[in-house]
Amino acid sequence: MYRIDEPKRAEQEAHLKALHEKLTTAVGNLVTGEDWMRALMVSARLRAYSAMNSVLIWVGLAEQYAQGLVPTDTPTMVAGIKQWNSLGRTVIKGQHGLEIRLPVFGRYAAEHPDAPEATWRRLGSWEKLAPGEVLKRKLVNTKVGRVFDVCQTEGAPVEPLPSPVLLTGQAPSGLWDGVAAQIAARGFDLRLVDSAKAIGGANGLTNYLAKTVQVRTDVEPLSAVRTLTHELAHVLAHGPDAEDAATHRGIAEVEAESTAALVLGAHGVDTSQYTVPYVATWASSVPGDQVETVMRTFDRVAKTATTILSLLDTTQVGNGLPPGLDREAHAHQHAPDRGGPTPRRAVGRTREAVAR
């Protein structure tokens, strides 16, 4: 039987509650265009972490900066203490970890991978599979973890990350083609128009029924690719079945524009001049719990942008992990918080299924 340490669980739940309250407060502050944009740029540089964890890292480092404990309030490369140690670096004495949420998995066994959910039994840490049983790992909880920014460590030099080289008004190399290819892969026909007048005064227009994306081209290439990415975000996230987008058009527009800002930010482009006015007042016009709406929106933006970025063969800024880190191990530890799939792998002579 799986045993639970009740005092330890109560302590963890209290700590998680405090962390959630901290996150809620931080998200509640993202109601101005400037703060929202800053959060997007941080998330663009911490793509290896979930949207909410990127906010927690940012807020945690800013708190320590305000206390004079660290030299910067902007995180760049973030990893756990053991991961830093594997790269020949140690945490500087007196530095405090940045708290994030980590997934907790339980191991479950059954006689068949398609067995009814009620027949799976949870294994204790000491238990092994019985002959003929299969194993699956299931997300059962979250816990508080701690990571450190590179500025909180010392030791072996950190390899500098590649940076995109941009010219004024020019789009990052390969970005237009990469985004256009993703639009085509979704079955949408990309049509270029000579001016905004041709599409009702807009910069771009996505038609779900006709499965077309129209983008004006009488602008600088950088502006055109921002619009193209905005429309790809609509294609990916705002079809007829998107509930929030259907009930409040402002949410869909903010998500699309924010996704474009995050994707461009991952290529070293700051779109604040356009994006900040675009999203400045959207949250105040949305009915219901404003903080909850902002939290859901930010999470969807980060996931959509991550999907786009993962399919691009372009030079991007760092994803928040120091060069040389075991990315596969990190992805296995953090991906469930992003909402992505957990990879299947063989376990001895049994098969392992993965449940979400």
Q: For the purposes of burial, counting CB atoms within 10 Å of the CB of 142, is it exposed (0-12), middle (13-18) or buried (19 or more)?
A: middle
Q: Which of 25, 30, 28 is nearest to 43 (CA)?
A: 30
What pLDDT, on a 0 to 100 scale, did the predictor assign at position 105? 85
CA angle 100/101/102 to nearest 5° reads 120
Q: 82-86, 130-134, 207-211 — which is least confidently predicted?
A: 130-134
- Give the span between the Cα atoms of 47 and 312, in whole angstroms: 14
Q: What is the pLDDT of residues 251-288, one digit of tens each?
A: 888 899 999 999 999 998 988 887 877 676 666 666 66
- Give the span between the Cα atoms of 90 and 249, in whole angstroms: 48
Tokens found for residue 74: 């902007």
Residue 18, SS3? helix
Sorted by sequence, the CB contacts under 8 Å of residue 3 that are 6+ apart come out as 124
Q: What is the pLDDT of residues 284-309, one digit of tens each?
A: 666 666 778 888 888 999 999 999 99
CA–chain centroid gap for 335, Å, is 9
Helix, strand, coil abundance in the chain, percent, nearest 5: 45, 15, 40
Q: What is the pLDDT of residues 146-161, one digit of tens each?
A: 999 999 999 999 987 7
| pLDDT higher than threshold 80 for residue 136 | yes
Q: What is the pLDDT of residues 221-248, one digit of tens each?
A: 999 999 999 999 999 998 877 665 555 6
Which range, 86-90, 218-222, 269-273, has the best average confidence (pLDDT)? 86-90
What is the pLDDT averaged over residues 73-99? Answer: 94
